[in-house]
Amino acid sequence: MVTKSLKNKKPRTVGELKKAKYPALSVKAEMRKNLIEKIRRNADFFPGIIGYEETVIPQLENAILSGQDVIFLGERGQAKTRMIRSLIHLLDEEIPVLAGCEINDNPFHPICKSCQEKIQTLGDKAEITWLGRQQRYAEKLATPDVTIADLIGEVDPIKVAEGRYLSDELTIHYGLIPRTNRGIFAINELPDLGEKIQVGLFNIMEERDVQVRGYKIRLPLDVYVVASANPEDYTSRGRIITPLKDRYGSEIRTHYPRSLKDEIEIMEQEKTSFDDDGAFATFVPPYFKELVAEITSLARKSPEINQRSGVSVRVSISNYENMISNALRRAIRVGEKEVVPRVSDLPYLVASTSGKIEFETVEEDRNQSLIEKLIDKAVLNTFNRYFQVQQFDAFLSRFKTGWSIEVSERMKSSEYQRRTQEASPHTAEMRGLLEALKKLNCDQSAAQVASGLEFILEGLYLHHRLNKEKLAAKSAYRA
């Protein structure tokens, strides 16, 4: 625990730090201490992470309590990077480092030569500064062109030109990992890192020594190393060498949301918001949120989509945004203030879906047809969760008299409401429809009625109880 004097006045020298009895902990011990405290207080230290409460997070907590480095293994769009970046919440708010040190040396146990010489010369008068938790995190996207110089260091020719010997440790320009000493270093897409570079990594993680241009230095860094990777059977560009995998204490498998509820919660959390959103009354019925999540769920099971590549949650998020945007575009065009999506908005989801999934075939027309089939199946599955088709027998009987309904993503909501009020709402034909709209939470306004009515009509069409005739910019449902 930090003493009261340390809280009231930050020490500025090594001597003042000693008097304050500052507890110098390793990064792993510091994270462990803070995790224990958060678990005791039941605090959430992974904000925005949904669906991992009973799977990924317990495994990560175990790894941190064990002081193990971690590698997250999973397909794209499974919050691996967000999980890694959330680890900074387990670091102290700030820690003391020797002033001017390139690698954040511990004032009590410096490891670089310049800081060791400074302590020998100045002793307790050596100055310290305080480093915030955000500055103690660094990450690197692994690519084949990453070098040892990028990660660990390189001989600085300027320092050599100034007269230093190559064998002098002070000639080294430190790379990312040493500069993250006493912090968290993350490597994304680890298999893309060259195998020779991976060898340099496991030396840092275990043996704590490295070679720079043939000059071997002892570098006992205090770094928590975490990485992310796609499954090796998908990432054909490279692999994680076995000795490096062996040095990661835990390999944690991530996954996609396992329920529509989790997928919907992520969609709502991640969708882009704008300052002018309040100018319109946006209402997305619950069944429509389920429908969008269902499209992604079906894509993850489709044999015609490459499952090794994965179907990211970003598909759901982008589709959700596009669906609301098309409803907004309609509201602006027809002069309405309420924004409610309709089934006739769904064709616009092809644009936000096609670029995020990898098809087994390369035929563009066929792939668009596959997305349209996914949307139809999602509508049908969602309809079946809410209704039995037999309950609309009375409503369907009205179509047998020659009655029909036209729908369009450009049609005013009042036109839909007018069509539902053509017959007395107390007749059996319309009473069943109105009860169904109420079940969908779509009975409070004209825009909601339009949304619910289109959904019911499309569900009946997909059950082959109605015909659907596609006209210019509109569709007509008939017996």
pLDDT reading at 167 higher than 70: no
228 and 162 both lie in a single domain: yes
Nearest one of 329, 253, 316 to 75, comparing CA atoms: 253
Claim to verify: residue 351 and residue 221 sit in the same structural domain? no
Q: Per-residue pLDDT for 233 more than 60?
A: no
Q: What is d(CA 349, CA 372) in angstroms, rounded to the nearest whole number? A: 9
Among 232, 253, 274, which residue terminates a domain?
A: 253
The beta-strand segments (E) located in 63-121 are: 70-73, 94-98
Instruction: Indicate the pTM of the whole model.
Output: 0.85
Q: What is the pLDDT at residue 5? A: 47
Q: What percent of the chain has pLDDT over 90?
A: 56
Give the residue from 304, 316, 326 showing the smallest Cα distance to 356: 316
Tell me, what's the pLDDT at 39? Answer: 94
In single-letter form, the type of residue at position 99 comes to A
User: Which CATH number does the domain housing residue 191 bear?
Assistant: 3.40.50.300
DSSP letter for each residue of 158-186: HHHHTT--TT-GGGEEE-HHHHTTTEEEE
Looking at the fold, whether 339 and 449 belong to one and the same domain comes out as yes
Q: For residue 299, which of 357, 251, 348 has the smallest C-alpha distance?
A: 357
What pLDDT score does 214 carry?
59
- Pairing assessment for the beta strands 405-407 and 474-478 based on DSSP bridges: antiparallel
Residue 453 has pLDDT above 80, yes or no: yes
Strands (E), 317-460: 338-339, 405-407
CA 285-288-293 angle, to 5 degrees, is 135
The verdict on 287 and 368 lying in the same domain is yes
Of the pLDDT bands very low, low, confident and very high (cuts 50, 70, 90), residue 291 is: very high
Instruction: Judge whether residue 317 has pLDDT over 90.
Output: yes
pLDDT value of position 151: 86
Q: How confident is the model at residue 232 (pLDDT cuts 50, 70, 90)?
A: low
Q: Cα separation of 127 and 12, whole Å?
A: 6
- 342/402 same-domain check: yes
308 and 423 together in one domain: yes
Higher-confidence residue of 92 and 425: namely 92
Kindly state whether residues 326 and 397 are assigned to the same domain: yes
Q: Judging by beta carbons within 10 Å of its beta carbon (0-12, 13-18, 19+), is residue 310 exposed, middle or buried?
A: buried
Residues 282 and 139 in one domain: no
224 and 273 co-located in one domain? no
Residue 106 confidence (pLDDT) above 80: yes
Same domain? 301 vs 389: yes
- Number of domains into which the chain is organized: 2
Overall average pLDDT of the 176-182 stretch:
90
Structural domain span for residue 427 = 260-478
Last residue of a domain, one of 217, 236, 253: 253
C-beta separation of 164 from 170 below 8 A: yes
CA distance 23 to 26: 10
> Pairing between strand 172-174 and 153-155?
antiparallel
Give the best-scoring range by mean pLDDT among 197-211, 220-234, 413-427: 220-234
Q: What is the pLDDT of residue 240?
A: 84
Query: Which are the contacts of 373, defined by CB distance < 8 A and separation ≥ 6?
Result: none
Could you say which of 227, 253, 279 is where a domain stops?
Answer: 253
Q: Report whether pLDDT(155) > 80.
A: no
- Looking at the predicted structure, is the pLDDT value of residue 293 above 90? yes
Mean pLDDT rounded to a whole number for the chain: 86
473 against 272, higher pLDDT:
272
| Contact criterion met (CB below 8 Å) for 477 and 395 | no
- Residues 387 and 463 grouped into a single domain: yes
Cα three-residue angle 476-425-394, rounded to 5 degrees:
60
* Integer angstrom CA distances of residue 258 from 53, 58, 78, 140, 230: 12, 17, 12, 30, 19
Residues 245 and 266 in one domain: no
Lowest mean pLDDT among 8-17, 131-140, 438-447: 8-17
Report the distance separating Cα 353 and Cα 319, nearest Å: 7
CA atoms within 13 A on the CB side of 431: 4
Q: pLDDT > 70: what percent of the chain?
A: 89
Higher pLDDT, 217 or 186: 186
Q: Helix (H, G, I), strand (E, B), or coil: what is residue 263?
A: helix
Question: CA geometry: angle at 51 spanning 47 and 54, to 5°?
Answer: 100
Q: What number of other Cβ atoms are within 10 A of residue 400's Cβ?
A: 9
pLDDT surpassing 90 at residue 43: no
Q: By CB neighbour count within 10 A (0-12 exposed, 13-18 middle, 19+ buried), where does 164 fall?
A: middle
Confidence check: pLDDT of 146 > 70 = yes
